[in-house]
Amino acid sequence: MMSDKQKLVVIGNGMAGARTVEEILARGGGQQFDITMFGDEPYGNYNRILLSNVLNGTQDPADIFLNPLEWYTENTVTLHAPARVTQIDRARKEICSDDGQVTSYDKLLIATGSRPFVPPMEGLKGPQGEDKHGVFVFRTIDDCHKIAGYANKCRKAAVIGGGLLGLEAARGLLNYGVEVHVIHLAPWLMNNQLDAQGGKILTSIMEKMGVHVHLEKATAAVLGEDSVTGLQFKDGTILDCDMVIISAGITPNNELARDCGLTVERAIVTDNQMRSVDDPDIYVVGECAQHRGRVYGLVAPLWEQGQVLADHITGSNENAAYHGSKIATKLKVMGVELASMGVTEASDDRDEVVIFSEPKRGTYKKLIIRDGILIGAMMLGDLNKVAYLMQAFDRGTPLPEERLSLLFDIGAPSVEATMLEMPDTAQICNCNGVSKGQIRKCVEGGKRSLKMVMEATRAGMGCGSCKKLVSEVVEWAAEGQIEEDPSIHFYVPGVALVKSELVEVIMARGLKSVSSVFDTLAHGVEDAGSKMGLASLLKSLWGAEYEDERDARYINDRVHANIQKDKTFSVIPRIFGGVTTADELIKIGQVAKKYNVPMVKFTGGQRIDLLGITKENLPKVWKDLGMPSGHGYAKSFRTCKTCVGTDFCRYGVGDSTGLGIKIEKRFQGIESPGKLKLATAGCPRNCSEAMVKDLGAVAVEGGNWEIYVGGAAGAHIRKGDILCIVDSHEAVLQIMGRFMQYYIETAKYLERTSSFVERIGMDKIRAVVVEDSEGIAARLDAAIQASVDAYVDPWLEADTPATANQFVSTLPVMQA
Amino acid sequence: MISEKTKYALGSVTQIPLGEGRNFRIGDTEIAIFHTRQGIYATQAECPHRRGPLADGLVGGTQVTCPFHAWKFDLKTGEPQMGSCALQTYPVHLTESGDIELTFLGEAARFAS
Ligand code: SRM
Ligand SMILES: Cc1cc2nc3c(=O)[nH]c(=O)nc-3n(C[C@H](O)[C@H](O)[C@H](O)COP(=O)(O)OP(=O)(O)OC[C@H]3O[C@@H](n4cnc5c(N)ncnc54)[C@H](O)[C@@H]3O)c2cc1C
Ligand code: SF4
Ligand code: FES
């Protein structure tokens, strides 16, 4: 059946093309047009801006997609990708693409963007005319992967071009452990956005970061036979390097338009409706469009262009017109705060320049004001006032007389005043294109916390640089009625009680299962995020009487192994105190061979990890090993690392190995609010890092042991505090057990000992655990003893699965 | 062409512990079936984010949390709690004898319909 819709064909599936199609759909364009898109990258549309984060390792490529392939299906947009359009035939209203198709259109949208500009230089190609190994540009996801792959093998990299992109690339390369050199033609970095003084400060910041900067250098040739060995400059000097990224500007992709006779100057010339000036059926948007003599290389203008275009093409506002954009830039280099807008120098007698400069601290602020209106600004080192200045610049609102407050936060203009002046259409989040109005509506719709607004609008969830501004808008829109999420005080978010109240009710009502807690205390509303915390608490309260419901456990605790990114699991058998035997190692080796274990690794916890075991094989592997679980997955006692101590070490003053083995045998697998990692050291040289463990025992001269608690050396680092000094292994075991029980009873779910100790205070802990100030020491000792006695190795479930199909990932279908 | 709706008998619901999910393979397609306290639900097996095994997730009410990075989806509709990628869901119910019956149109039909 022929459709009576018009055919809209879009060339280019990048940020402008896809965004414009979204705008068209949002105006009901799906009813008017059959939309077909061509993109020569083999993906849906992704956020090109975030490639800098992909390169510097802070973001995963999978996370930067704006329109994944499903989006096209869901919106009945036909996407041809990878497919490159090779010709536009305006007479027949058809386009040809390199997959051999001819597609006819009623309306055409050109959104081909631009490509990196490669300045002429010798030696870009290898002997056979192929691209020389080690020469890259930085524009696409594929470029990113290629750069990362090559950089891993490189020693020294050069980036040609010290503009926004070049510096972001240079910073990214540092992460690959290469020495990075930036080659820049102009006398200072980012010369389009900064003046000489600002450029100089930026150079010193980049150099402190480890990037070598070479100014006023023109590259004459890339050296090396078939791969890069260096660069030669026009002044005759040479820089050795084994890779080069060329980031010297962009060239709009104009060829298609030029070949079919459209007016092309620097880019394709458009009118105020974003149509080619020659053909009312051809629209142009993005970096390939030239409007009133200007070509933009940033995303904010193309959002505005897309809106006008969509208004016009769908007829939802025939009078929509684009009048050009004022642009502001921010550098996305970790550790550098830099924003710039408008002109960089005064050019008229009327111009007033306000400058603050503190080069040693890397701070530089400059404003250029004409007749009371901001026409240019640069801010380096401190972006506090940028949000306000950007608004004032964009709208041309008169600045307050008092200039000092424009540079620093000393009172006016208040956030309140700024917010009132800011129009609803002002874009707050440039990555996801969220306006002040959208945020305001979201808040008015009842979402009164930053987190809720971010989740609902996606504002602030791209590069993150606008988060502060988003929170200001939220606060302003909520008129101070910001909701603090009360659940942060609850033991688990789904049951509105703090831990002590919860324990009281659970005991009073005899609630022994997670589902009974939901039924009784949460109106029957089951909350996934609360299940594990409740299970942990109930088990510590009821011991053997606890009614275990397996669905309350995280997958790791259902199958007693840690899940991996490919859905396999890791198996870490227990090796008490890190001491093993030849037979045990042979056994582990045999098992690894039998099951083709992809990786056998010594862990940081002094034992061996078999990684990559399928769920089905877990019970078999455990049985073949014949060793107990090392609990490398649970919120429980993990390991006790030891050092060689008095047995072998010439400094050892206490038997740390023997003590560590005793500790691990006693407390293995005891469940707790957070992981418990222990260590014993034979002397204060502390080779087993006992001072930064949840619990550590360090032997000191005179046959004594110092007991440390609350140490941490993971995401957060903290030296443990001395709890007490005791004189025997037995005393260490007793104090450690008592501390653990007190922690189990008092800590919040997932609160590691390092936070726990700080919250409760060492004086209080010492009083309870060592001096028995509350008279509960005997009860704590008995409780931990009961847990030790009740301990059963979970790997015994290999023989007696606890639930149906516990170790099955896919069940057969009986009949079809 | 749209293939006919096909019903599959997946066997007794007791194969799936209460509150958990398990995968079933039909042809080339893996489908996660969840046996919750609210009822029985069927969705695609892999999380649209980075292919996390949804059947291994934690279920709360009619919501599943992916075990990999905690994305949440409604089991009844497939709607994501955040973001734009919904799960494919499939009609499924329990027979009087407690057997799981799934209606599955085949992968091709999913796009054709
Ligand atoms: C295997 C191991 C790395 C290794 O190859 O050496 C490891 C691997 C993981 N660690 Fe670790 N950690 C390992 C020793 C450590 C250590 C050092 C130690 O135990 O002596 C630390 C710092 C000590 C500490 O915890 O304070 C450590 C601090 C962490 C943290 C940060 C915890 C914190 O609160 O600061 C996490 C994340 C978490 O728990 O949420 C983590 C989480 C993880 C997870 C479980 C991530 C996950 O959820 O998948 C990794 C599991 C990989 C797997 O499937 O096997 N791992 N991890 C080490 C296992 C030790 C063992 O034998 O049990
Ligand atoms: C690493 C990096 C960081 C950046 N950071 C920022 C930033 O912080 N802030 C900012 O505002 N901007 C930034 N930019 C610039 C921003 O990404 C661009 O302005 C924006 O992507 C332009 O959108 P576009 O749609 O015009 O072009 P593109 O996004 O390049 O899309 C054009 C698409 O068309 C395809 N195409 C071209 N010709 C054809 C053809 N004949 N047939 C089929 N398909 C074709 C191309 O392959 C491409 O996929 C950055 C750019 C890069 C590379
Ligand atoms: S540090 Fe620990 S959590 Fe991080 S990747 Fe290594 S093993 Fe995994
Ligand atoms: S794979 Fe499911 S949340 Fe990441």
pLDDT for position A485: 66
Q: What mean pLDDT value characterizes chain A?
A: 92
d(CA B91, CA B94) in angstroms, rounded, equals 11
Q: Which ligand is the nearest neighbour of the Cα of A752?
A: 1
Pick the atom of ligand 2 nearest to A285's CA: 26
Within 8 A by CB and 6+ apart from A92, the residues are A104
Q: Give the angle subtended at the CA of A360 by the CAs of A206 and A367, to the nearest 5°.
A: 85
DSSP A748: P
pLDDT for A471 beyond 90:
no
CA-based nearest residue to A697, from A713, A708, A712, A711: A708
Q: Is A199 exposed, middle or buried (0-12, 13-18, 19+ CB in 10 A)?
A: buried
Select the more confidently predicted residue: A718 or A482: A718
Domains, chain A, with CATH or none: 6-114+252-314 (3.50.50.60), 135-248 (3.50.50.60), 328-416 (3.30.390.30), 422-484 (1.10.10.1100), 489-553 (no CATH), 635-801 (3.30.413.10)
Q: Which residues of A15-33 are buried (b: 16+ CB within 10 A; e: fewer)?
A: bbbbbbbbbbbebebbebb
For a pocket test of ligand 2, which of A298, A331, A333 has the largest count of ligand atoms closer than 8 A to its C-beta?
Answer: A298
Q: What is the mean pLDDT of residues B40-64?
A: 95
d(CA A656, CA A167) in angstroms, rounded, equals 51
The structure tokens listed for A710 are 């609350």
* Beta pairing, strands A219-223 & A328-330: unpaired
Q: Are A146 and A136 in contact (CB under 8 A)?
A: yes
Percentages of chain A per state (helix, strand, coil), in multiples of 5: 35, 25, 40
pLDDT for A411 beyond 60:
no
pLDDT for A373 beyond 80:
yes
Residue count (chain B): 113
Q: What is the mean pLDDT of residues A208-235?
A: 95
Percentages of chain B per state (helix, strand, coil), in multiples of 5: 10, 45, 45
Cβ–Cβ contact A351 with B under 8 A = no
Within 8 A by CB and 6+ apart from A329, the residues are A164, A193, A298, A339, A340, A341
Residue count (chain A): 816
pLDDT for position A460: 81
For residue range A743-786, what is the model confidence (pLDDT) as tens digits?
999 999 999 999 999 999 999 999 999 999 999 999 999 999 99
How far from chain centre, in Å, is Cα A550?
32
Q: Ligand 1 within 6 A of A639 CB? A: yes
Q: Which residue has the tokens 């957070």?
A: A674
For residue range A248-283, what is the model confidence (pLDDT) as tens digits?
999 999 999 999 999 999 999 999 999 999 999 999
For residue range A278-313, what is the model confidence (pLDDT) as tens digits?
999 999 999 999 999 999 999 989 999 999 999 999
d(CA A667, CA A734) in angstroms, rounded, equals 11
DSSP A242: S
- Minimum CA distance residue for ligand 2 atom 7: A49
pLDDT for A727 beyond 90:
yes
d(CA A168, CA A170) in angstroms, rounded, equals 5
pLDDT for A412 beyond 60:
no
For residue range A661-684, what is the model confidence (pLDDT) as tens digits?
999 999 999 999 999 999 999 999
CB contact under 8 A, A554 and B20: no
Which one of A432, A569, A633, A811 would you mutate to disrupt binding with B, by most B Cβ within 10 Å of its Cβ? A811
The answer to whether residue B52 sits within a structural domain is yes
Q: Are A167 and A199 in contact (CB under 8 A)?
A: no
d(CA B113, CA A26) in angstroms, rounded, equals 23
d(CA B15, CA B17) in angstroms, rounded, equals 6
Strand order in the sheet with A328-330: A328-330, A338-342, A373-380, A363-370, A352-358
Closest-CA residue of A relative to B103 is: A816
Bridge-partner residues for A790, per DSSP?
Answer: none
How far from chain centre, in Å, is Cα A441?
27
Q: What is the mean pLDDT of residues A455-459?
A: 80
For residue range B3-43, what is the model confidence (pLDDT) as tens digits?
456 889 999 999 999 999 999 998 889 999 999 999 999 99
Most confident by average pLDDT, A416-425, A512-521, B63-72: A512-521
User: Which of A52-56, A445-449, A679-683, A783-787 has the weakest average pLDDT?
Assistant: A445-449
Closest-CA residue of A relative to B30 is: A810
pLDDT for position A410: 59
Q: Which domain holds residue B34?
A: 6-111
One-letter identity of residue A723:
L
DSSP B5: P
Q: How confident is the model at residue B83 (pLDDT cuts 50, 70, 90)?
A: low
pLDDT for position B82: 67
Identify the CATH number of the domain in which residue B20 sits.
2.102.10.10
d(CA A466, CA A387) in angstroms, rounded, equals 9
pLDDT for position A131: 87
Return the percentage of chain A with pLDDT > 70, whole number.
97
Q: How confident is the model at residue B1 (pLDDT cuts 50, 70, 90)?
A: very low
pLDDT for position A417: 65
**Count of A–B CB contacts within 8 Å?**
107
Q: How confident is the model at residue A429 (pLDDT cuts 50, 70, 90)?
A: confident
Using CB atoms, pick whichever of B19, B24, B84 lies closest to residue A549: B19
Q: How confident is the model at residue A570 (pLDDT cuts 50, 70, 90)?
A: very high
Q: Is A701 exposed, middle or buried (0-12, 13-18, 19+ CB in 10 A)?
A: exposed
Q: What is the pTM of this model?
A: 0.55
3-class secondary structure for A94-130? EEEECCCCEEECCEEEECCCEEECCCCCECCECCCCC
DSSP A49: G
Bridge-partner residues for A46, per DSSP?
Answer: A65
Return the percentage of chain A with pLDDT > 90, whole number.
77
- Minimum CA distance residue for ligand 1 atom 48: A562
For residue range A603-650, what is the model confidence (pLDDT) as tens digits?
999 999 999 999 999 999 999 999 999 999 999 999 999 999 998 999
- DSSP letter string over A18-38? HHHHHHHHHTTHHHHEEEEEE
Q: What is the mean pLDDT of residues A305-331?
A: 92
d(CA A9, CA A95) in angstroms, rounded, equals 9
Q: What is the CA radius of gyration of chain A?
A: 33
A814 CA: distance to closest CA in chain B (Å): 6
User: Which of A47-51, A135-139, A413-417, A657-661 has the weakest average pLDDT?
Assistant: A413-417
Which one of B12, B18, B58 would you mutate to disrupt binding with A, by most A Cβ within 10 Å of its Cβ? B58
Select the more confidently predicted residue: A739 or A467: A739
Structural domain count, chain B? 1
For a pocket test of ligand 4, which of B54, B63, B65, B69 has the largest count of ligand atoms closer than 8 A to its C-beta?
Answer: B69
Helix (H, G, I), strand (E, B) or coil at A744: helix
Which residues in chain B are closer than 8 Å to A46, comparing Cβ atoms?
none
Q: What torsion do the CA atoms of A739, A744, A747, A750 make, to the nearest 10 degrees?
A: 120
- To 10 degrees, what angle do helices A450-457 and A436-444 make? 120
pLDDT for B49 beyond 60:
yes
pLDDT for A543 beyond 60:
yes
pLDDT for position A416: 64
pLDDT for position B112: 42
The answer to whether residue B18 sits within a structural domain is yes
The answer to whether residue B1 sits within a structural domain is no
Q: Are A429 and A473 in contact (CB under 8 A)?
A: no
- DSSP letter string over B17-53? -TTEEEEEEETTEEEEEEE-SS-EEEEESB-TTT--B
d(CA A446, CA A485) in angstroms, rounded, equals 13
Q: Are A669 and A794 in contact (CB under 8 A)?
A: yes
Q: List all residues of chain A from 776 to 815 with a beta carbon under 8 Å from chain B.
A: 803-806, 808-815
